Amino acid sequence: MPKATVLVVDDEALIRWSLSERLKSEGYDVLEAATGKAALEKLPEGVDLVLLDYRLPDTDGVSVLRKIKEFDQDILVILLTAYASVETAVEAMKLGAHHFANKPFNLDDVATTVERALETTRLRREVRQFRSNAAKPYSLQRIVGASQAITSLRHMVSRVAVTPSSTVLLTGESGTGKDLIAKVIHYASDRSSRPFMNITCSALPEQLLESELFGHERGAFTDARMQKKGLLETADGGTVFLDEIGEMAPALQAKLLRFLEEKSFKRVGGSADIHVDVRVIAATNRNLEQEVEKHTFRSDLFFRLNVLPIVVPPLRTHVDDVPLLVEYFIDAFNTEFRKRVLGATPAAYALLQSYGWPGNVRELRNVIERAMLLSDGDRLDARDFSAMSRPLSAGHEFELPATGVDLEKLERSLLVQALRRSNGHQTRAGALL
């Protein structure tokens, strides 16, 4: 934490000196002023708290207080006075004075008051920061990771977000964060105040999906008793996220393509063209190029969707992000479960970094959730992940070759491999062995 700056305002040099010395010894940066005017001139230097004498040669403390608060609401003011009447005290408090200290004062008391006041602002700032983050749950920072892979992913996402309407295609294994990225793109774009609508193409039979997407007119089919707007209409101005696009039936693929090209469509059973302005983000964990070759996915739709492709990497290719992700999820579950887990032990980190993560970040999240529910220690330890390490070794029993092994050579080779896999990190290598 940076040092706080305290401004001491008093016309008596001795009082200024004793307060300054004491506050400096507590580790604060201290500025001094002998008059109200001099005090106000110091504010631009960056002041966190003012110890303000009520009686000043050129003015009174309350007027200086008012001007300080006009300059910056967040500066804390503690009034020092020998003659506080109830009225002045009330007025000063109304104007935002943080505290009163009676003269003659005890230096210890003043130091404690200063410390508490600064702690309160620090907390207040933290809460404010927290609120503004909570208001934007899908900021770019929500994509956790410092590896090259995630850094360039974040960079790509931020660039895509500012292109106003191009179609985005997210590909990546299950659990890598495609849903998350779709939301980050939406909330980082100009469309953020408009709807984000989400539909999973594999979750509905073809006809239902069609009417969900495009809407339908009354009587369009047996159950269509009323006209209904589709997702594309509801999302006008915003974003439509089509998840598992690879599962979309061919007839619907054709309709979607037409919409992407013309920005207009007809409701099911309708004849009027409806124009909307939506950005489509599609996602799939399939390899669409292969689906195109197999003729299960239209090549023209693939090319139309693939304008801005984003490939989300599997977790095993950026395991250096595991510790950051673990900390992130621990924080999140601390809040959710009202726990105070501080982190994980080096052995636990080593174990988590050596695992293959077939279920990617989702699996890591689940593993942390389970460990936090079951553990009651300060830090998650390797044994809190015992359930996870079992499938790791299962089916991987080391088989002795018929020709036997040179045990010494094998040991050395394993050691070298472990060190290589853990980038020379001895604790991690140790955990692997």
Ligand X SMILES: Nc1ncnc2c1ncn2[C@@H]1O[C@H](COP(=O)(O)OP(=O)(O)OP(=O)(O)O)[C@@H](O)[C@H]1O
Residues forming contacts to ligand X in the complex (CB under 6 A) are: 143-145, 150, 172, 174-180, 285, 328, 361-362, 365
Q: 189 and 161 in contact (C-beta within 8 Å)?
A: yes
Measured in residues, the chain has a length of 433
Backbone angles phi, psi at 403, to 5 degrees: -80, 0
The least CB distance from residue 183 to ligand X, in Å, is 8
- Judge contact between 100 and 54, C-beta under 8 A: no
Work out what residue 365 binds among ligand X, Mg ion, none; the CB cut-off runs from 5 to 8 Å by kind: ligand X
Considering the complex, state which of residue 36 and residue 313 has its C-beta at the smaller distance from ligand X.
313
Q: Minimal distance in Å, beta carbon 174 to Mg ion?
A: 7
Q: Pick the closer one to ligand X by CB: 138 or 302.
A: 138
- The closest of 245, 243, 230 to 301, measured between CA atoms, is 245
Stretch that binds Mg ion, among 179-187, 342-350, 375-383, 388-396 (CB under 5 A): 179-187
Which CB, 171 or 354, lies closer to ligand X? 171
Give me the 33-72 binding string for Mg ion, x by CB under 5 A, dash otherwise.
----------------------------------------
- In sequence order, which residues have a C-beta less than 8 Å from that of residue 285 and are 6 or more positions away? 171, 172, 173, 174, 178, 244, 246
Distances (CA, A) of 178 to 124, 143, 268, 355: 35, 11, 29, 21
- By beta-carbon proximity to ligand X, the closer residue of 175 and 323 is 175
In angstroms, rounded to a whole number, what is the distance separating the alpha carbons of residues 358 and 370? 17
Residue given tokens 């935002």 in the structure block: 96
For residue 53, the minimal CB distance to ligand X (Å) is: 52
First to last CA, the chain: 40
**What minimum distance in Å lies between the beta carbon of 179 and Mg ion?**
4
361: partner contacted, choices Mg ion, ligand X, none (Cβ within 5-8 A by kind)? ligand X
**Residue 369 and residue 141: Cα distance in Å, rounded?**
21
By a kind-dependent CB cut-off of 5 to 8 A, residue 174 interacts, out of ligand X, Mg ion, none, with ligand X
Q: Using only C-alpha atoms, what is the Rg of the chain?
A: 32
- We find the least distance from the C-beta atom of residue 157 to Mg ion, in angstroms, to be 15
Answer with the entry of ligand X, Mg ion, none that 172 interacts with (C-beta below 5 to 8 A by kind).
ligand X
- Any residues with CB less than 8 A from the CB of 173 and at least 6 apart, and which? 285, 312, 314, 360
Q: Residue 132 or residue 202: which is nearer to Mg ion going by CB?
A: 202
C-alpha distances out from residue 324 to 146, 164, 321, Å: 8, 31, 5
How far is 417 from 133, CA to CA, in rounded Å?
42
> To the nearest whole angstrom, how small is the minimum distance from the Cβ of residue 368 to ligand X?
11
| Nearest distance from C-beta of residue 154 to ligand X, angstroms | 9
Q: How far is the CB of 364 from ligand X (least distance, A)?
A: 8
179 contacts Mg ion (rule: CB under 5 A): yes
Residue with tokens 């989702």: 362
Q: What is the largest CA-CA distance in the chain?
A: 98
144 binds, among Mg ion, ligand X, none (CB under 5 to 8 A by kind): ligand X
Binding partner of residue 315 among Mg ion, ligand X, none, CB cut-off 5 to 8 Å per kind = none
Point out the residue whose Cβ comes nearest to ligand X: 177
User: Which residue lies nearer to Mg ion by CB, 154 or 178?
Assistant: 178
Distances in whole angstroms, Cα of residue 432 to Cα of each of 348, 414, 420: 11, 9, 11
Q: Residue 313 has what DSSP assignment?
A: P
Q: Give the range of 136-144, 177-185, 310-318, 374-382 binding Mg ion by CB under 5 A.
A: 177-185
Among positions 253-272, residues that touch Mg ion (CB under 5 A) are none
User: At its nearest, how many Å lie between ligand X and the CB of residue 385?
Assistant: 17
SS3 318: helix
Point out the residue whose Cβ comes nearest to Mg ion. Answer: 179
- 3-state SS assignment for residue 81: strand
- Which residues form the interface with Mg ion (CB under 5 A)? 178-179
